């Protein structure tokens, strides 16, 4: 049976999310998480569907990709399809031929787990290694001690505060209340929580969104940030620990996060929150 690639309709996204949930497991190489789709959902279900790519054989989903911005395809495969030669050849053909519409024209990077055959094949087509990212993980087998800061779950009533802290944490962020509601309406958000931290003067100082992939599976932090006026007081560490505690409550086996290695403040903050850096991962890039 040939492998096909498709862009799902919005009502077909649940199937891609289910596949991604199913594929998460402890000890597996860093890979696209259902929370990444949930985070992207801030742009709406239609936009998320337009950004998702699904590869199938005989109806079964073998790989899922998310075009995360104009120039990055993040993708992963079913655990038993990592070395599937037919799949790898098809994915490579799809991403190197812009006329197929799987990837846009110009400079593009592809993120795929390090044990996929796709990673071995792409460099033969002129793709090169891109900037390093650091995945970090915190095991949740031991109870996580709650941080010494007031942390609240942010629901619809706190969407404006949650969005404002994010804009204050990330330069150029346009995250809004509307985007929060779009994100919170996503399929993966059923297993997610937004947390906001408040200091002694009741300022909202930090936020995080955590995404469970179901009990016994790694959960994801995306995004995490501290208000630029309130940095350097341990709030980054506190919200990171709170994120781990929230994922533990949701049944996750570990908490995972991913950041460019150049973001030293973030890597240090996660380590300070009990996360351990895993070997760096690098995307493969094609210049324009």
Ligand X SMILES: CC(C)(COP(=O)(O)OP(=O)(O)OC[C@H]1O[C@@H](n2cnc3c(N)ncnc32)[C@H](O)[C@@H]1OP(=O)(O)O)[C@@H](O)C(=O)NCCC(=O)NCCS
Which residues contact residue 178 at a Cβ distance below 8 angstroms, ignoring those fewer than 6 apart?
Answer: none
CA distances 167 to 70, 161, 182, 207, Å, are: 21, 10, 17, 10
SS3 content of the chain, % helix, strand, coil (to 5): 40, 30, 35
Cβ proximity of 112 and 53 under 8 Å: no
* Collapsed DSSP state (helix, strand, coil) of residue 113: coil
Pick from 69, 145, 264, 276: which binds ligand X (CB under 6 A)?
264
Smallest gap from Cβ 200 to ligand X, in A, equals: 15
CB nearer to ligand X: pick between 105 and 264: 264
Question: Does 241 sit near ligand X (CB under 6 A)?
Answer: no
CB nearer to ligand X: pick between 188 and 273: 273
The tokens of 112 are what?
């795929």
Q: Hey, which residues between 156 and 185 contact ligand X (CB under 6 A)?
A: 169-170
The stretch near ligand X (CB under 6 A) out of 20-28, 149-157, 175-183, 260-268 is 260-268
Write each residue from 196 to 225 as x if it is in contact with ligand X (CB under 6 A), else as -, in one continuous string.
---------------------------xxx
CB nearer to ligand X: pick between 35 and 117: 35
Cβ proximity of 67 and 13 under 8 Å: no
159-169 and 177-184 are packed helices; what angle lies between their axes, rounded to 10 degrees?
110
The stretch near ligand X (CB under 6 A) out of 23-31, 48-56, 242-250, 263-271 is 263-271
Interface ranges with ligand X (CB under 6 A): 169-170, 223-226, 231-237, 259, 263-266, 268-269, 272
């Amino acid at each position: 049976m040939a492998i096909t690639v498709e862009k799902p309709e919005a009502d077909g996204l649940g199937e891609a999310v289910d596949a991604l949930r199913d594929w998460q497991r402890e000890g597996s190489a860093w890979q696209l998480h259902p929370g990444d789709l949930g985070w992207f959902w801030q742009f709406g279900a239609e936009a998320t569907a337009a950004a998702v790519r699904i590869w199938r054989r005989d109806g079964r989903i073998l790989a899922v990709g998310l075009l995360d911005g104009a120039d990055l395809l993040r993708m992963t495969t079913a655990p038993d399809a990592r070395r599937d030669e037919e799949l790898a050849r098809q994915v490579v053909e799809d991403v190197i031929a812009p006329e197929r519409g799987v990837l846009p024209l110009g400079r593009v990077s592809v993120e795929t787990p390090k044990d996929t055959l796709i990673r071995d094949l792409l460099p033969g087509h002129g793709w090169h290694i891109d900037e390093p990212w650091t995945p970090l993980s915190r095991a949740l087998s031991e109870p996580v001690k709650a941080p010494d800061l007031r942390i609240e779950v942010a629901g619809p009533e706190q969407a404006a505060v949650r969005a404002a802290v994010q804009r204050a944490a990330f330069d150029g962020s346009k995250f809004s209340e509307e985007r929060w509601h779009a994100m919170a309406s996503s399929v993966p958000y059923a297993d997610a929580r937004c947390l906001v931290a408040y200091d002694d003067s009741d300022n909202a100082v930090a936020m995080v969104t955590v995404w469970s992939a179901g009990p016994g599976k790694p959960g994801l932090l995306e995004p995490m940030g501290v208000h630029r006026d309130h940095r350097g007081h341990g709030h980054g560490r506190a919200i990171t620990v709170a994120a781990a505690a929230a994922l533990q409550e949701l049944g996750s086996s570990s908490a995972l996060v991913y950041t460019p290695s150049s973001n030293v403040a973030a890597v240090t903050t996660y380590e300070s929150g009990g996360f351990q850096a895993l070997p760096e991962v690098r995307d493969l890039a094609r210049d324009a």
